[in-house]
Structure 1
Amino acid sequence: MKLTRLFLCLVLIPAVSHAAPLSREHKILFFGKDDRVLTKPNKMPWQAVGQLETRSQNICTGTLVAPDVVLTAGHCFLDDKGRMDKAISFTVGLWGNEYEEQSRITDVYVDKAFLKGLIRRKDGVYIPPAIAPRDFAFVRLAKALGVQQGVIPVFAGNSAQLKQLLNERKWTITQGGYPVDDQRHLRVHNHCQATALRADGRLTHRCDTLEGNSGSPIFAIDGQGRATIVAVQSSAPPASRRKLEDNMSVSAPVFSQALRDFIARKTPQSAK
């Protein structure tokens, strides 16, 4: 059984004026070369993409899918022992030392089957394949941030309909987030390649992601520039397996109904 070790969240470091130099291991994680571009979050869909922070200062990327609800990855709220790590804040429009808006977090939903199925070892926390498709989370904010910026729609169809959409887009997707080499600026990989939609609902792809990109949106963008979330970034293989494996995300049909239920529900349902 092949296990995925949690490593795409990272500890927040003090703000720096320039991007940190990439390590050799990080460079190997790219598919050929680094195709990411710096993108100011001053227009849609990037106005809705922001940075999440937990009590232990882990950071991930998330996307506004309702004025007060953020979509991200489930493992973003785990500490290094697999315990729930309290969510603190979500920030949109982050660019250097400035940002547009920020809200504290009042509620987090992580799939209970995901939490129960984690394998905890002395060297870290591992996600077995059986629960990997459950690596998603929803966050409720104390105040609405998506009033002026807007929110991004999530694909609402089933897996067959998603595959049809991907075929129409020639399996071209776009991904963006706040990675380890530049935690204060959005970096986007436009027109990267989705490679397969697995039977368990995971979407594999070759967008250039690093730590910090956990929970980042995988967009399908139409000819008019309108973006739809088709998946949420979950994990990437270690550098040693880059030529053998693609990055892994969880496709929208897996979590879209649970997300709709969470948006409609106003009482806290945090995972324990």
Structure 2
Amino acid sequence: MIRVLLSLILGLCILATTSHAQANKRKLTDRDDLYGWEAIGRLDIGDESFCTGTLIAQDMVLTAAHCAVDGRTGKAFAPEDITFRAGLSNGNALAESRITQVAIHPSYGSKPPLSHDSVRIDVALLRLDKPIPYSVADPFALYSGRVLGNEVSIASYGRGRSEAITRERSCRIIDRQQGLILFDCDITFGSSGSAILAKNGSRWQILSVVSAVGTNGNRKVGFGMELDGIVSELKAIMRRDAPQPKASIRRLQVGSGKSGSGAKFISSGGG
């Protein structure tokens, strides 16, 4: 059984660094470095905070639910207050898009008490107002099948490195129980919502999302959740609550008796 003291990454301000991890981390600061990682981006929330998000479709970003909720008010941020900046490096993003829809599990609530249950559903999907072409960023797939071994990787933004993605090439799964995944990846401010990636063949796929930090004995560890089921539920919520297209009304102009398509209209003179 997992016996831990959890501390939620509220306000995006945790310190869970470990000295041994620094040597295994690399900043991805130019186009060549970013190759294959363009779908990871910084989520700017208002003018004060940020998280990390990952494209799982051209118009859909996966992140943590607490990234989309204002910790001071307990209310969800307005979608238009969130911007996704794919592949942000040194102030320049490969693509940038506002958010038009936020989907959070209905059981998550506005200010859920920290617990195993809340971490398990600490997942959000964000809809972009402008899809990002595959030629710019190739979305990551969710991991399917059995994970071989315990090696994972993470790429995120964070304190002191908010202008470029930093990738930790190798960290480890410590345990998987009760719908939670414990890992020793080096997470810090801004790492909330980052994808925990596992190798499936030659490709990295999303195994979990960074939710919280806690302790396992004297060891500081990160927490994510099993994604089976929760992402499908959020997609269903998105489809159900999708914004309806706005009807447009155009004033008819007085013309010569012909429409733009060449169709004729009967005039009062019978012509």
Structures share fold, TM-score greater than 0.5: yes
| Aligned twin of 2:41 | 50
Q: Is the 8 A contact 1:133 1:254 kept in 2?
A: no
Taking the aligned partners of 1:76 and 1:212, their CA distance within structure 2 comes to 10
Q: Is the 8 A contact 2:159 2:188 kept in 1?
A: yes
| Aligned twin of 1:38 | 27
Q: Is the 8 A contact 2:9 2:213 kept in 1?
A: no
| Aligned twin of 2:165 | 186
**SS of residue paired to 1:218:** strand
Report the CA distance between 1:92 and its aligned residue. Answer: 0.7
What is the TM-score of this pair, normalised by structure 2?
0.77
Matches within 5 A, 1:148-167: 148=135, 149-156=137-144, 161=145, 164-165=146-147
| Aligned twin of 2:106 | 112
Residue 77 (structure 2) pairs with residue 85 (structure 1): yes
- Aligned pairs, number: 234
Residue 120 (structure 2) pairs with residue 133 (structure 1): yes
Report the CA distance between 1:140 and its aligned residue. Answer: 0.1
Report the CA distance between 1:130 and its aligned residue. Answer: 2.6
Q: Is the 8 A contact 1:196 1:203 kept in 2?
A: yes
Letter in 1 for 2:9: L
CA RMSD in angstroms, aligned pairs only: 2.7
Structure-2 change in CA distance of 1:263 and 1:84 (3 Å): closer
Larger Rg: 2
Segments of 4+ moved more than 3 angstroms = 5-8, 40-45, 262-266
Output one character per residue of 1:33-55: Cα deviation in whole Å (capped at 9) or x when no partner.
42321124745541100011122
| Aligned twin of 2:269 | none
Matches within 5 A, 1:1-272: 2=5, 4-7=7-10, 9=12, 26=15, 29-30=17-18, 32-34=20-22, 35-40=24-29, 42=31, 43-81=34-72, 82-86=74-78, 87-115=81-109, 118-119=112-113, 127-148=114-135, 149-156=137-144, 161=145, 164-165=146-147, 168=148, 170-199=149-178, 201-224=179-202, 226-237=203-214, 243-261=218-236, 267-268=242-243
Q: Is the 8 A contact 2:182 2:223 kept in 1?
A: yes
Letter in 2 for 1:38: K
Structure-2 change in CA distance of 1:253 and 1:44 (3 Å): farther
Taking the aligned partners of 2:222 and 2:89, their CA distance within structure 1 comes to 26
From the two aligned structures, give the one with the greater helix fraction. Answer: 1
Output one character per residue of 1:85-130: Cα deviation in whole Å (capped at 9) or x when no partner.
23421001211121111001100111121125614xxxxxxx2333
Report the CA distance between 1:171 and its aligned residue. Answer: 0.7
What is the TM-score of this pair, normalised by structure 1?
0.76
